[in-house]
Amino acid sequence: MKTEEFHVLTAELEKLTPHQRSVLVDCLHKIEHVQAVSTLVESRVQSKPLCPKCGHDHIARWGSASGLQRYRCAACRATFNALTGTPLARLRHKDKWLVYAQQMADGASVRNSAKVCDVHRNTTFLWRHRFLALPNEQKAQSLVGIAEADETYFLESFKGQKKGMPREPHKRGSKASKRGLSDEQIPVLICRDRTGSTSDFVLDKADKAHISAVLKPLLASDAVLCTDSGRALGAAVREIGITHRPINLAAGIKVVGKVYHVQNVNAYGSRLKEWMIRFHGVATHNLANYLGWRRLIDPAHGALSPRAVLFAALGMGRAQQLTVT
């Protein structure tokens, strides 16, 4: 805005009623919040935007929309912005994303975060799973040195699912304690090494074949894997051919050879289980998202800032985040 226009504007402000003043202050805050989010989002492409459609790097600036710079690809003429192709593309209310990201860092419920962000809880439910789409995939790809593995189980749930239910939902007053919960247990394999790198897998079945399929690419060939005496897990480790240190917890043995134990993975599993109680059973098709959420906010990595949550939602790694001031 030109200086003269700005003077005219500020002179007009005196005429505002108290209500109009507070509306104006809210407007300014909203603009600031959108700008803060936009700056973080733009940092994804700032240095060199690539066309998300054809990968070309001949990109021109092409106006702006919804608080974000638009770009146009000279090769295919597609227009895009820094959110195109990310799970956060086309989500509304950017001014509330950082407030919501804090809610994610706190592990807040859909209902509470809706209240804090002043949006409908359908919105915070949608946001939750959009924010978790990429963290879900960001798990340790390789465990080294001494690693620990353990199985844990979650009740199968068809929560929120209207289609594809294997049976009718329980009627009110029926025996099941929670609607949409079956008595099937869904196995999850958690693996963690001593550097704190963690990976987890929702398994179709906790048998040797399924377990070795996920363990084999995960473990370095010279890794040593500690497990409790679960049979399928032990058989899978033998099949892969890496060194196995079974810990016979049932016999009261907790540590073998001073360093071999499953205390880290068990502690992680307990924290996960305890944390999940607040969600009162999660839909099985969303279970992996919650595992990713837990990995993201696990206290072993220190407290998580809202911007770190936003970066994780955009799939930005730590190195990329550090370049943002």
- Binding residues (CB under 5 A) for Zn ion: these are 51, 53-54, 56, 73, 75-76, 78
> How many other C-beta atoms lie within 10 A of the C-beta of residue 146?
18
Shortest Cβ 51–Zn ion spacing (Å): 3
> Can you list the positions of beta strands (E) in the chain?
59-65, 68-73, 79-80, 146-157, 181-193, 198-202, 224-228, 243-247
Write down the least CB distance from residue 77 to Zn ion, Å.
Answer: 7
Contact 155, 181 (CB under 8 A): yes
State in angstroms the smallest separation of the CB of 53 from Zn ion: 5
Beta strands in 145-180 (DSSP E): 146-157
CA pair distance 316, 243, nearest whole angstrom: 34
Q: Is 32 exposed, middle or buried (0-12, 13-18, 19+ CB in 10 A)?
A: exposed
Q: Quick one: 72 or 244, whose CB is closer to Zn ion?
A: 72
For Zn ion, the closer of residues 49 and 306 by Cβ is: 49
Q: Among residues 54 and 253, whose Cβ is nearest to Zn ion?
A: 54
What whole-number distance in Å separates Cα of residue 122 and Cα of residue 108? Answer: 15
| Unique residue bearing structure tokens 């001014």 | 95
Quick one: 59 or 99, whose CB is closer to Zn ion?
59
CB of 302 to Zn ion, least distance (A): 39
Rounded to a whole number of angstroms, the minimum distance from the CB of residue 81 to Zn ion is 14
**How far is residue 124's CA from residue 112's CA, in Å, rounded to a whole number?**
9
44 vs 192, beta carbon nearer Zn ion: 44
